[in-house]
């Protein structure tokens, strides 16, 4: 005998329902609460409803949100290693990049992303590096902390476009190679598109504009990512998403050449609720290889909107 829950989901609450994917609702209805790591008080309806009937139930439930300001959860595409997503998230991400050649520099960043409203998101990024100095000793510390605001400019059933503005504060020790030594303003545009067969493409273009160009150069960068997701258990289980990125940046200084890297990678959901994910890949220089080594890059992502880090594993 189950205790009656104190509250029931409010499916008219757009902020609470639109970030969730139809496939997640289908897994919960088909397999019960256990299907996505929720309470087993929710029974399985696999024997009572056909797949088509469950789809019809979900289609009706989606009509209970009356606002069209919220992008649908399916536009929250798998996060690449480098390219910024257009969807406004509520996530925490720890990223680490390690050089594959000695001496190995280690660059890491913790990012907090919090959705403020239907189309706005705040982001705080705290970088940390462990570098080999010119004298051969290892130095480490916090880099330039950045604070940004993302806003969705357009969202349809299959596409999303957003703008992003960020300010990088000179909190790192530039003498030790841990920061730029100047405040930097960054402006980005990001887009995502759902393609047939669980495929997708994402793109980003932007510029960094330091306050003092004698300390750090102005730069232009662009990034493109393509991938495809595969799901186990009849599309209701664990998800794997191989992706391939091409990333480039160029300094606005005379004689500068564009750095172009390719980044093959593989993301996988770790928790049953799919709110904890990992991604690992290689960032491989394709141009200007002298002084630029291949890096092993990986991240651990926690979508805290879907529950605590320790919930939803079984």
Q: Does the residue 287 lie in any domain?
A: yes
Do both 116 and 184 map to the same domain? yes
Give the integer Cα–Cα distance in Å for 125 and 204.
18
Do both 119 and 46 map to the same domain? no
Whole-structure pTM value: 0.92
Do both 140 and 233 map to the same domain? yes
Q: Does the residue 312 lie in any domain?
A: no
Q: 103-137: per-residue pLDDT in tens?
A: 789 999 999 999 999 999 999 999 999 988 777 78
Domain that holds residue 81: 74-306
Do both 206 and 103 map to the same domain? yes
Q: 195-243: per-residue pLDDT in tens?
A: 999 999 999 999 999 999 999 999 999 999 999 999 998 878 899 999 9
> What pLDDT is recorded for position 5?
55
Task: Give the CA distances from residue 93 to residues 32, 40, 111, 124, 256, in Å, rounded to whole numbers and listed in that order.
Answer: 29, 29, 5, 11, 32
Q: Does the residue 105 lie in any domain?
A: yes
Q: Does the residue 1 lie in any domain?
A: no
Q: How many domains would you assign to the chain?
A: 2
């Amino acid at each position: 005998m189950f205790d009656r829950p104190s509250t029931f989901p409010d499916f008219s609450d757009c902020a609470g329902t639109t970030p969730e994917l139809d496939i997640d609702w289908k897994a919960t209805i088909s397999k019960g609460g256990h299907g996505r790591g929720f309470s087993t008080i929710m029974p399985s309806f696999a024997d009572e409803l056909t797949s088509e009937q469950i789809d019809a139930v979900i289609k009706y439930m989606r009509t209970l949100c009356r606002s069209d300001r919220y992008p649908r959860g399916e536009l929250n595409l798998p996060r690449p290693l480098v390219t910024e997503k257009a969807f406004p998230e509520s996530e925490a991400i720890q990223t680490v990049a390690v050089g594959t050649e000695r001496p190995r520099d280690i660059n890491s960043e913790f990012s907090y992303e919090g959705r403020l409203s239907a189309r706005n998101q705040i982001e705080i990024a705290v970088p940390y590096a462990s570098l080999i100095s010119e004298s051969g000793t290892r130095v480490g510390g916090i880099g330039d902390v950045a604070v940004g605001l993302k806003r969705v400019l357009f969202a349809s059933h299959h596409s999303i476009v957003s703008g992003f503005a960020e300010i990088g504060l000179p909190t790192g020790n530039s003498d030790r190679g841990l920061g730029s030594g100047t405040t930097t303003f960054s402006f980005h545009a990001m887009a995502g598109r759902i393609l047939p067969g669980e495929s997708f493409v994402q793109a980003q273009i932007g510029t960094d504009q330091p306050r003092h160009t004698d300390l750090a150069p102005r730069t232009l960068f662009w990034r493109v990512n393509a991938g495809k997701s595969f799901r186990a258990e009849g599309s209701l289980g664990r998800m794997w998403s191989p992706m391939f990125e091409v990333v480039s940046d160029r300094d606005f200084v005379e004689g500068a050449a564009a750095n172009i890297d390719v980044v093959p990678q593989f993301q996988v959901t770790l928790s049953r609720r799919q709110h904890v994910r990992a991604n690992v890949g290689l960032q491989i220089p394709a141009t200007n290889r002298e002084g630029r080594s291949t890096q092993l890059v990986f991240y651990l992502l926690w979508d805290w909107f879907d529950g605590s880090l320790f919930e939803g594993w079984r």
